Structure formats: C-alpha cells, structure tokens
Amino acid sequence: MWLMLFIVSIMWTTNKCYAGESPESIRNEQGLMMKSFMNESINPCDNFYKYACGNWAKHQTFEKTNKSFGIFGVLTRQVNKFIDDFILFNNHTSATSEETQKILESSEVKKVQRYFSICRQQKKLKREPYIETWNVPGGWPVLNSSWSDQTFDWINITGQLKLIGGESLIDVHVGPHYENATRNTIYIFPAAFPLFQPSLFEENLIVKQIVAKMISLVIGSFGLDELKLNKTVSDVLSFETKLASVYLKDEEDEGEYDRLEDMTLEALQEIFPDIDFHRLLTIVSGQEISKSQMVTLSNGWYFENLMDLLNETKSEDLANFFLYRFGLQIGVLQPVDNYCRNEVIKHMGFFLGYIYNTAFNNERDNEDVRKLAQSIKSVFAEIIQKTDWIDSDTKAEASIKLDNLLLKVGASEDSLRFSEIKEEFSLIDFDPNDYYRSYFKLLAFSVQKPFRTLNKSNDRSDTNHNAATVRAFYSLTKNHLVIPTNVLQKPVYNFYFPNSVKYGALGYILGHEVTHSVDGNGRTYDSEGTIRQWWTEKSEEEYLNRTSCLTAQYANYTPNFLNASANSIGASTVNENIADNGGIRQSFQAYKAWFAKHPDEQETLPHLNLTNTQLFFLSFAQFYCQVTKPGSSLVSTLTDEHASGKNRVIGTLSNFEEFSKEFNCPVGSKMNPAKKCRVW
C-alpha cells in the first residue's frame, strides 16, 4: 500500500514538491521501490527483464482500458490526477501558487469544465448518438434499408472523417515544407492504414482474422441480425484487403509521382480529375482554398490505383467501409470519466499542459537535465567521429546536425503565453448544452488548427506540442529534442537521485531521442529540418548492412505463428531499436565520464546490493517494466513501431558488452550472445 501511495498520490505544496521530502528520504524510497519490482531469484544473465521487473505487476493496479501499463503510465496517472483534482473537478485550494490559482479561476478553465461536465452527463456507451449527430447526408446502407447511392458522396465523407481525426482514403495536413522547413505547405498523402501495415494483409492470415473481429465488433454494435452482419463484415474486410494492396507499389510502377512534388491545386486537379481535391481541402480546412494554392503531393501512384479500386467498388460497400472507420475512430467503450478526461487532454492539452507547467516547472531541475543532455549529445558527437564505417563527408554533416540540435527541457521560455491561450480558446465554438455537437466541434478545431499556420513562418525553437501528454520526442522537421515537465517527475527523475539512476532512465531517453536524428528517418533530414540526401552512397550502404542485423535480431523475438510476418515486424521497429541501442551506449559512456570526475559521490541506493554501474542498468530496465493486458500483446506486436518492453530490455542489453561485464555474464549466455548487433 505504501508503494502505490508513493507513486500515485500527489501532495501539493506551494514550492511544487512532495511534502516533507528530503534527499535521504527520496533515495530511501527510490531504493525500496526499485527493489520491490525485482525478482532477485532470476539470474540477470538469463533474463535481465525478469530480474529487473519480475515483481512489477504485483505493485500495480491495472485499468481495464489499458493495453499495457508501464512507467509512462505512472507519470500519466500523476498528470491525470492533477487535471482531475485541480481542473476538471475544481478541487484546487490555496495550496497552489498564486499564478496557478489565477489561471484555475479563469473563464478558459470554466469552458473546459463545462465540456467535461456535459460529456459526463450525456455520453452513452453507444455509437448511435454519434451517428445521429454526425448526420452524413444519405445515411448508411447497413442501417437504412431504403438507402440510395444517389446522395452518397465519398469525398465529403472522407473530409468529414478527417475532421474527427479518422483515417480513410486520403490524408491532408499542414506541415513544414520538405525543402524549406521555415515555411508551411499543404501535404496530400495516402491516409495512414490503421491497426496494421498493409503488407501484413498478404503475409499473415491472422491479421485478417483480427481485422474481421474488429469489423464485427464495430458493425455488430448497431444491432444487425446475424446474416446481415456476416455479409457486411465480409464485404468490408474484402475492401480493406483490396485497399491494403493499393499501398503496395509494384517495382515496375515507377511513375513520375513517386516522390514529394509541389504543384498548384489546379494542376493537381488536372492530373486526377476524378478526385475533387479542392472540395476535400475546403471541408477539412474549414476555409475556402484558392485553386492557385501550392500543395505537396506524395506517392501519386497511390491515387491512380485508388481510383481504379473505387471504380470497381459498389457504393454500398464503400459506405459500409466508411461507417466501420467512423466506428473505429470514436471511443465508446471506456468508462465515461476516463473517456471524457482523455478527450479534453487530447484536444485541449495545449492549455492543460500550460497549467501543469505553471504548477510544476522547476528551473533547478531543468538546468540539471540540460547538463545531462549536453553530456550525452557530446558523447554521441564523439562516437560519430570515431565510427569507422561512415566517411568524412557524412561525419561532417552529422556533426553540423548535432551542433544545431536544440534541447527543450521543461517548460521552456518560449512556451505559449496565457494571452495566446485565451486567443486560441476563443476559436473553440462549443454548444454548452449538447455534448455530441460539442464533440464534433472540438475535433474539427484540432484538425483545422494547423491550417491557420499555413502562411506563417516557422521557428525551430517553437515546440507547440501537447504538453499534457507524457512523452519525450525528437522533431525531424525542427531538429529539436523536447523533454517536457511531466517527464521530469518521480519515479523517472528527481534532482536528488544518484546520477547512476538519472543516466540509466532519463539519460537513456535523451540518448534514444538524440539517436533518432540519424536513424532511418532522421538521416533524410538535415540540420535545419529540410529533406536532403546528405549521406554518401558508401555510408548509406554500410548503414543498411548494420540495420539488417537489428531487423533480423528483433524479428526472432516474434511468436512462432508469426514467422511469415517476422521480417516485416523487425523492419517496422528498426528505427526505435537503433535508438534504444544507441541511447544506452551514449548514456552509459556519459555517466562513466561524469563518475570519473566525481568518484566520491554516493552513487548507489539504500536496500540495493548493486554497484553504481549495475544500478545504471537496473534503472534502464525498470523504465520498461510493464503489465500487459491479456490478449493485447498480439495486436501490439503487429501494430506498434516499438518492440515490447521486455524485448527492448533484452535486445538492447544483449548487444552491449559493458552490460555483460558489469554482471559477469559469460559469452554464450542469453544476455551475452557471441554475435551482437550495433549501428552506433
């Protein structure tokens, strides 16, 4: 009980820390916590994940809506508790700072509270109210026996789905221009394929079975008879399978649109006369888009193949496909309070995160983390210069990119000002008495928000992220690394943790994100966030040779019945695996350099019979302790761009010689295989 209270409970004080904490008590609690998660009966050389995390599940409560619950889940609970207590349920007291108190009493907070309130009061765990309010002209064939395709308009429905964040056939969004990241462009892409990679539809029957089950659950929630349900599921699955094949470009199909290409909207319309892009952009943007507007097209061959598919598809089947994708997008199964809170966090996080930052930003912590991040960045620069498989030209470009990489730690000085928040909030047009109408208005606000930046210049220092979401990230187009305030909390970070623990968890995160600057995606962007080929052909070839080792290694972690898909899964997670393996090496090297200069520092923790360097690796591994919901691991394996927590620990450490030295793992043991993979 004491452990859960320690992790989850938040005792707010005016100096923004835990009541009564001291350096000694913090280290004592951290040592007890880390020890409680371990299963010390496991040989660390056999399975370090089980050794580090074997008892994690015993100390966690698991919400039914979660697929898995790890350290980020702990941090998210802490943020959610603040949002619940201080914003949504209006339980804040004079214990908060004067500045925070002023914001909590603002009309903007009252607007958030009103939306949350009507959501809790009116939301039903059914899809019908959403369908009724969405009110697409003509309705849906599976729900209307007199449905006619005369009013069916696939362009309109595609746009309306995009307005609620759904994916269907075509994606449009505003982002930094690929050749000049200081300005924006409208991108027109194939819509992201939900749940699974398109290639898996051909490779594995299990994927089709899972998708069929998903379609059945969504469509079946409308109360169809068994015969009609089975036919609809079969028709929608057939279309999904054909759509997946549209994404798979034939080697012979080397069309002139197989790249990013700028053109006017009018010129685009001439190339694809059967797709009304102008009307689609008008729907999604919420404003009239000039036909002379420059847009950026990606993968033109996809749109050619898409029209072939649509021309051979019955309108009824296409409409039912859209209804399925709509049902997939709206969340109706979560407990109402959780769902409603998640909605305000997702769409109003720029404001909720601002309040959280105001309450918890600590410049002492920010400066501590900046120093840690700078040490890791410097180590990575050294590693690149010493790497013998990339040539001098590529090294020079990589050095420029690292030199220009911006570190954004905590609530940075260029965060949104409250005046900007108020201006942004004035654009949200809620219906204060109707949740469902407000829901669609809020989602449209989020989707249309980037279009207001179309003609504005970009500054690399602007983060503009959802500060209420717990995540650290690297931005390709801005070449900056963001570590928000909500990550700089226990149990991941505390100013008084020994550096062995700081570098093992937070330092590894920093190294992981820095490595993304030169992974499979990062190496296609230069120091200014522009897409440019700055790797030489020789360095490129050597890079691919090394990544193939990681692809094969992580493919071996997939279940036996997924062998046909193993290579695809290994390839889909390879960028994250590169970042994991590079991040742990950078952080360990940076920590060793720091400790060499501070040998008298107390770098162990009470209750743990481990050296400082062993503690480093334990801190890393426990960052990935997870409780996984039964039945969800298969979907996660097939859809996540990350390997599982277990495989991230085992895969990363089994490639790292320094880990084996610290725990005396003999060559040939499971955690110290003779063959190791390394990129950086």
Whole-number percent of the chain with pLDDT over 90: 64
**CATH for the 153-220+229-329 domain, from 2.10.109.10, 3.30.230.10, 1.10.1380.10, 3.30.1490.100:** 1.10.1380.10
Lowest mean pLDDT among 280-289, 417-426, 576-585: 417-426
Provide the sign of the torsion angle of the four alpha carbons 192, 197, 199, 205, taken in this order.
negative
Is 290 in a helix, a strand, or coil? coil
Angle at 369 between CA 366 and CA 370, to 5 degrees: 85
pLDDT tens-place string over residues 457-473 = 988 877 778 888 999 99
- Provide the pLDDT for residue 250: 59
- Cα separation, 676 vs 600, in Å, equals 34
Residue type, 145: S
Structure token digits, residue 38: 């371990």
pLDDT tens-place string over residues 149-175 = 888 999 999 999 999 999 899 999 999
**Is the predicted pLDDT of residue 640 greater than 80, yes or no?**
no
Structure token digits, residue 164: 């609620």
**Is the predicted pLDDT of residue 231 greater than 90, yes or no?**
yes
Delimit the CATH 3.40.390.10 region(s) of the chain: 12-69+361-415+463-662
- Provide the pLDDT for residue 631: 54
Structure token digits, residue 487: 């990550």
Residue 3: pLDDT band (50, 70, 90) is very low
- Provide the pLDDT for residue 68: 57
Say whether the peptide bond before residue 491 is cis (omega within 30 degrees of 0): yes
pLDDT tens-place string over residues 334-355 = 788 888 999 899 999 989 998 9
- Provide the pLDDT for residue 566: 52
Euclidean distance between the first and final Cα of the chain, in Å? 43
- Provide the pLDDT for residue 163: 95
- Provide the pLDDT for residue 664: 97
- Provide the pLDDT for residue 92: 67
Asked if residue 168 lies in contact with residue 159, where contact means CB atoms within 8 angstroms, the answer is no
Delimit the CATH 1.10.1380.10 region(s) of the chain: 153-220+229-329
Lowest mean pLDDT among 258-267, 333-342, 356-365: 333-342
How would you label 611-624 residue by residue, b for 16+ Cβ within 10 Å and e otherwise? Answer: ebbbbbbbbbbbbb
**Is the predicted pLDDT of residue 4 greater than 50, yes or no?**
no
Give the pLDDT mean for 3-8.
36
**Is the predicted pLDDT of residue 374 greater than 80, yes or no?**
yes
pLDDT tens-place string over residues 57-111 = 888 765 554 555 788 889 999 999 999 988 898 776 655 678 888 888 899 999 9
pLDDT tens-place string over residues 440-460 = 999 999 999 999 989 899 888
Work out the angle between the directed axes of helices 574-597 and 537-555 (0-180°, nearest 10).
Answer: 100
Residue 273: pLDDT band (50, 70, 90) is very high
Closest CA to 181 of 397, 525, 458, 450: 458
177's enclosing H/E stretch is strand 170-177
Asked if residue 212 lies in contact with residue 205, where contact means CB atoms within 8 angstroms, the answer is no
Whole-number percent of the chain with pLDDT over 70: 89
pLDDT tens-place string over residues 530-543 = 999 999 999 999 99
- Provide the pLDDT for residue 128: 86
- Give DSSP secondary structure letters for 226-269: HHHHHHHHHHHHHHHHHHHHHTS--TT---TTSS-EEEEHHHHH
Q: Which of 208-212, 247-251, 512-516 has the highest mean pLDDT?
A: 512-516
Taking phi first (over 0 means left), then psi (-120 to 50 degrees means alpha), and beta for anything else, what does residue 607 get?
left
Neighbours of 484 (CB within 10 A): 27
Q: Where are the beta strands (DSSP E) in 352-484?
A: 406-409, 473-475, 480-483
Burial (CB count within 10 angstroms: exposed 0-12, middle 13-18, buried 19+), residue 169: buried
**Is the predicted pLDDT of residue 226 greater than 50, yes or no?**
yes
**Is the predicted pLDDT of residue 372 greater than 60, yes or no?**
yes
Asked if residue 507 lies in contact with residue 587, where contact means CB atoms within 8 angstroms, the answer is yes
- Provide the pLDDT for residue 618: 98
Structure token digits, residue 34: 């880390």
Asked if residue 260 lies in contact with residue 524, where contact means CB atoms within 8 angstroms, the answer is no
- Cα separation, 366 vs 372, in Å, equals 10
Lowest mean pLDDT among 44-53, 182-191, 418-427: 418-427
Give the pLDDT mean for 424-434.
89
Average pLDDT, the chain: 88
Better pLDDT: 257 or 355: 355
Give the pLDDT mean for 113-127.
91
Instruction: Find all residues with CB under 8 Å of 618, minimum gap 6, and list them.
Output: 34, 38, 52, 504, 608, 610
Give the pLDDT mean for 113-120.
94
CATH 3.40.390.10, applies to 12-69+361-415+463-662 = yes
